[in-house]
Amino acid sequence: MAQKVKICETILRDAHQSLIATRMRLDEMLPILPAMDEVGFYSCECWGGATFDACIRFLDEDPWERLRVIRKNMPNTKLQMLFRGQNMLGYRHYADDAVEYFVKKSVDNGIDIIRIFDALNDIRNLEASIKATKKTSAHMQAAISYTLSPVHNVEYFVKYAKQLEDAGADSICIKDMAALITPSVAYELTAALKKAVKIPVNLHTHYTSGLASMSLLKSIEAGCDIIDTAMSPLAMGTSHAATESMVAALEGTPYDTGLDLKKLDVVRAHFAKLREKYLSEGLLNPKVMGVDANTLVYQVPGGMLSNLVSQLKQAGKEDKFEDVLREVPNVRKDAGYPPLVTPTSQIVGTQAVFNVIMGERYKMVTKEFKGLVKGEYGRTPAPIDPAFRKKILGDEEPIECRPADLIEPEMEKLRAGFPPEYLEQEEDILTMAMFPQVAPKFFESRKNKKYGVDGKHGDKASKVHPV
């Protein structure tokens, strides 16, 4: 039986993360939040991902306060966040007690739905965050990091989805971060998931390859319950399919979203003005608004492509770009076919660059690549060849257990080590834990502003440190 499709609106998080490096400010969101609350979205993704980092690094904003303000102004809409499992929102694995405390504080401050994923699809890295979420009132959406490889197929993803359901997931998300899913596969995978699991299925895909709206439609025809979209001014390109377009396409069909295009137009008008502002400031590069078919050829996310170009430029080896693109699949194969998403995309990409510019494969190995091969990030989708592992690790023993089992509880230590002059809320301890280099500057600025001193350190449009 066909049913109404629900919309997860991403403009307050992933849309601007994809197009303008997460630089939308709270004061730019605030005027339109009440109108967005009236639309009737299933959920609004507004937190997590890189928003936390960008808030304190560039925007001089407290991410916790941002969440509280959005919650206050959108009381009728479920607020959603993206959470990197054992990494939380930082870039290392944290102890289970820190993960549990972060989940609790996220829900306490207004989050209703937590979308949890692991870069390797290692369910062991989701255990702590799943258990923590189940202790709260929040909806736990477990995400599959979608990718293509000899070991990634419909059977693999369905098996993983059933594990996630058994672990307590309230819904399943197909997280296609690199825009690789084709319409036919979207239909096949969604149909298989709907047959295998008894919980709702959500498709999240980007427009980079130009396939998103077609893939969403075919997924809907196969029974997809929820789709991720973005309001049109910040849709398309490396962002998502346009919300209004998908609503219009489904209108009058058995899948009708029930959303009002007139109400959506009020929201669109606000973000259309912001789009013009971002273009004039140079924050929004028109290049990211187009289709990049190389995504399908090389299976490399758009953001990873730009990082490769930057690394080669710094090394004076821009002419080696095609060689690096050809090397990426080889490195990925050697490393057990990890999906290319934060942090594995950066790890594999950087190692491919070294392999090419050094003129010898693995002559120089990055600390992060060694950690990936060792098992510090978890179990890779395919086993790593023992001879290759020996070449990279030498006499070091690989990690076979859940990586977080090696981390002692750390909340008491984090509390004890927090500078008391900066503590304004318990959440600050978590901010410091995730971004120990950046957080002190933010806390100092916040303290100065409180006492009437201009201590701003943020920049609205930095292109030096994209998140």
CATH number for the region 6-286 comes to 3.20.20.70
Long-range contacts at 415-424 (CB < 8 A, ≥ 24 apart): 419/443, 421/447, 422/446, 422/447
Whole-prediction pTM: 0.92
| Third-level CATH fold of 300-400 | Cyclin A; domain 1 (1.10.472)
CA dihedral 416→420→423→428, nearest 10 degrees, is -30
- Six-digit token pair at 394? 């030498």
The DSSP letter of residue 278 is H
Q: Is 15 exposed, middle or buried (CB count within 10 Å of its CB: 0-12, 13-18, 19+)?
A: buried
Q: Which residues pair with 139 in a beta bridge?
A: 113
- Six-digit token pair at 409? 């509880």
How far, in Å, CA of 380 to CA of 124, rounded? Answer: 12
Contact criterion met (CB below 8 Å) for 366 and 392: no
Which residue ranges make up each domain of the chain?
A: 6-286, 300-400
Q: Could you read off the pLDDT tens digit of each residue along the chain, which spans 467 residues?
A: 668 999 999 999 999 999 998 999 999 999 999 999 999 999 999 999 999 999 999 999 999 999 999 999 999 999 999 999 999 998 889 999 999 999 999 999 999 999 999 999 999 999 999 999 999 999 999 999 999 999 999 999 999 999 999 999 999 999 999 999 999 999 999 999 999 999 999 999 999 999 999 999 999 999 999 999 999 999 999 999 999 999 999 999 999 999 999 999 999 999 999 999 999 999 998 888 888 887 888 777 766 776 787 788 888 988 998 899 899 999 999 999 999 887 898 899 999 999 999 999 999 999 999 999 999 999 999 999 999 999 999 999 999 999 999 999 999 999 999 999 999 999 999 999 999 999 999 999 999 987 776 544 444 333 322 33
Tokens 């002059």: give the residue: 421
To 5 degrees, how large is the angle CA 118–CA 124–CA 126? 50
| Domain 6-286 matches domain 300-400 at the CATH topology level | no
Q: Quick one: pLDDT at residue 173?
A: 98
